[in-house]
């Protein structure tokens, strides 16, 4: 039966449903901090060129709780969403002859790059560029969108998250990453980037731990600085170079240490941040950790073709279970968000990406970054650790302690 006009009963039912679905709309600045979340990694970057409003919008429409803009600064100090200060791989800048003389060589975290750098372009110039797919071989379908989308500013990302929150009745959070803090400090001045970010976030969301925001960084000293300046949630990212056949973590520059440690001569590695002592240290300034997933689940390459496709790949690795990092971090009151889950790559020990993500949610992680938000939401909703009731908890009522 097709109803051309809604009946009174239908209208009443819809009104009731809306009331039930949006109990927290008056507290828009709160979010379900303790329900496991799905973070749209660079948006829905499995389906659209990363870090575009189209990519973030699709992630939200697929049910992501947070969208993740990586941030770099332009010459005139605007925060724009790009994965790297180098923009040759994700924009059409090479097709702009007027910018051919901007290509240059710079060191980023000790590695030399010959590329175009956002820091050499004004925002107005950046706005003449268009995004393109970073991984055209892995994601050929996404190249259909090359040349269509602008490079968004942080303000535009915030505006999108806010308007989509209103439209959907869900609180859509943002999870900005300060990229290469040491590089930006050398270019623009110490903490200029961090101060700009806080100014923008505090004005958009208030200086509150209930703001639907996590600030993330692979560096340490900038997070410790931010901890003194804001109540907004901070997450220490923990990188590595690779995972060995026996499941242990391989560390090599530039993914061996936070780069500010390299500069200051601090010998501690990323792995050192996840020992009990390391977690105590992180807990002194951050609310959560964001380790690469092999830090959390041990998988071993034992030469068995588990999925029977006649090839030995990372998907075939034996899954040995939790390394204990999740449990130890939780004991210290740290949230655990891990990365990156992809339907088309990176499935250590799993051939089915949804199964992989559910496995991590079942171990108790508080959230994960995925390029495929739809699969992430399906996996999360399928997890034994997820109930819609938990999702309605708000961050102010559940005694999350921090050290500020
Ligand atoms: Ca990121
Ligand atoms: Ca195989």
Averaged pLDDT in 10-residue chunks for the chain of 404 residues: 39 42 37 79 98 98 98 98 98 98 97 98 98 97 98 98 97 98 98 98 97 98 98 98 98 97 98 98 98 98 97 98 98 98 97 98 97 98 81 47 40
Ligand at shortest distance from the CA of 313: 2
114 CA to centre of ligand 2 in angstroms: 37
Q: Which two tokens stand for residue 65?
A: 């709780």
Domain presence at residue 170: yes
Strands 335-341 and 367-370: parallel
Would you call 245 helix, strand, or coil by DSSP?
Answer: coil
Domain presence at residue 120: no
368 CA to centre of ligand 1 in angstroms: 12
Domain presence at residue 65: yes
302 CA to centre of ligand 2 in angstroms: 12
42 CA to centre of ligand 1 in angstroms: 7
Q: How many domains does the chain have?
A: 1
Domain presence at residue 222: yes
Domain presence at residue 307: yes
In contact, 43 and 51? CB cutoff 8 Å? yes
Residues measured by CB to lie within 5 Å of ligand 1, the ion: 70, 177
Domain presence at residue 338: yes
9 CA to centre of ligand 1 in angstroms: 47
391 CA to centre of ligand 1 in angstroms: 24
Residue 54: give the domain boundaries.
30-82+134-397
Ligand at shortest distance from the CA of 311: 2
312 CA to centre of ligand 2 in angstroms: 4
Ligand at shortest distance from the CA of 306: 2
Residue 144 to residue 54: CA distance in whole angstroms: 13
Verify cis geometry, omega within 30 degrees of 0, for the bond prior to 254. yes
Say which residue the tokens 């609180």 belong to: 171
In contact, 233 and 214? CB cutoff 8 Å? yes
In contact, 342 and 353? CB cutoff 8 Å? yes
Verify cis geometry, omega within 30 degrees of 0, for the bond prior to 340. yes
Domain presence at residue 128: no
339 CA to centre of ligand 1 in angstroms: 9
Angle at 63 between CA 59 and CA 65, to 5 degrees: 85
**Dihedral pair phi/psi, residue 325, rounded to 5°:** -65, -40
pTM: 0.90
Say which residue the tokens 């800048």 belong to: 93
9 CA to centre of ligand 2 in angstroms: 55
83 CA to centre of ligand 1 in angstroms: 7
Ligand at shortest distance from the CA of 350: 2
139 CA to centre of ligand 2 in angstroms: 21
Residue 276 to residue 288: CA distance in whole angstroms: 14
Ligand at shortest distance from the CA of 347: 2
Domain presence at residue 177: yes
In contact, 394 and 32? CB cutoff 8 Å? yes
72 CA to centre of ligand 1 in angstroms: 11
Q: What CATH number is attached to the domain comprising 207? A: 3.20.20.190
Ligand at shortest distance from the CA of 84: 1
Ligand at shortest distance from the CA of 314: 2
pLDDT at 40: 98
In contact, 341 and 46? CB cutoff 8 Å? no
């Amino acid at each position: 039966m097709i109803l051309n006009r809604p009946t009174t009963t239908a209208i009443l039912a819809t009104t009731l449903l809306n009331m039930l679905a949006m109990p927290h709309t008056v507290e828009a600045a709160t979010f379900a901090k303790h329900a496991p979340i799905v973070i749209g990694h660079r948006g829905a970057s499995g389906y659209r060129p990363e870090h575009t409003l189209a990519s973030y919008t699709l992630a939200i429409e697929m049910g992501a709780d947070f969208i993740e803009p990586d941030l770099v600064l332009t010459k005139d100090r605007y925060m724009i969403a790009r994965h790297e200060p180098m923009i040759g791989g994700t924009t059409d800048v090479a097709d702009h002859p007027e910018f051919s003389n901007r290509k240059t060589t710079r060191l980023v975290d000790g590695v030399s790059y010959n590329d175009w750098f956002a820091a050499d372009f004004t925002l107005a110039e950046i706005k003449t560029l268009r995004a393109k797919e970073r991984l055209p071989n892995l994601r050929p379908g996404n190249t259909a969108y090359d040349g269509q989308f602008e490079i968004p500013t942080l303000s535009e990302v915030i505006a999108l998250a806010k308007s989509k929150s209103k439209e959907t009745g869900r609180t859509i959070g943002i999870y900005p990453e300060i990229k290469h803090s040491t590089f930006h400090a050398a270019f623009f001045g110490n903490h200029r980037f961090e101060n700009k970010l806080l100014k923008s976030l505090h004005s958009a969301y208030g200086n509150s731990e209930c703001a639907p925001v996590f600030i993330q960084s692979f560096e340490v000293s900038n997070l410790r600085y931010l901890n003194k300046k804001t109540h907004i949630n901070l997450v220490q990212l923990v990188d590595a170079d690779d995972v060995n056949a026996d499941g242990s973590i391989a560390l090599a520059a530039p993914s061996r240490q936070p780069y500010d440690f390299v500069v200051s001569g601090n010998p501690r590695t990323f792995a050192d941040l996840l020992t009990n002592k390391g977690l105590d240290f992180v807990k002194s300034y951050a609310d959560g950790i964001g380790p690469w997933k092999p830090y959390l689940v041990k998988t071993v390459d034992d030469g068995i073709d588990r999925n029977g496709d006649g090839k030995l790949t990372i998907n075939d690795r034996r899954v040995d279970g939790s390394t204990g990092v999740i449990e130890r971090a939780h004991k210290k009151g740290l949230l655990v968000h891990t990365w990156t889950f992809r339907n088309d790559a990176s499935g250590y020990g799993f051939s089915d990406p949804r199964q992989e993500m559910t496995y991590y949610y079942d171990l108790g992680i508080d959230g994960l970054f995925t390029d495929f938000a739809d699969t992430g939401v399906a996996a999360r909703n399928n997890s034994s650790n997820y109930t819609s009731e938990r999702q309605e908890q708000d961050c102010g009522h559940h005694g999350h302690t921090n050290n500020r």
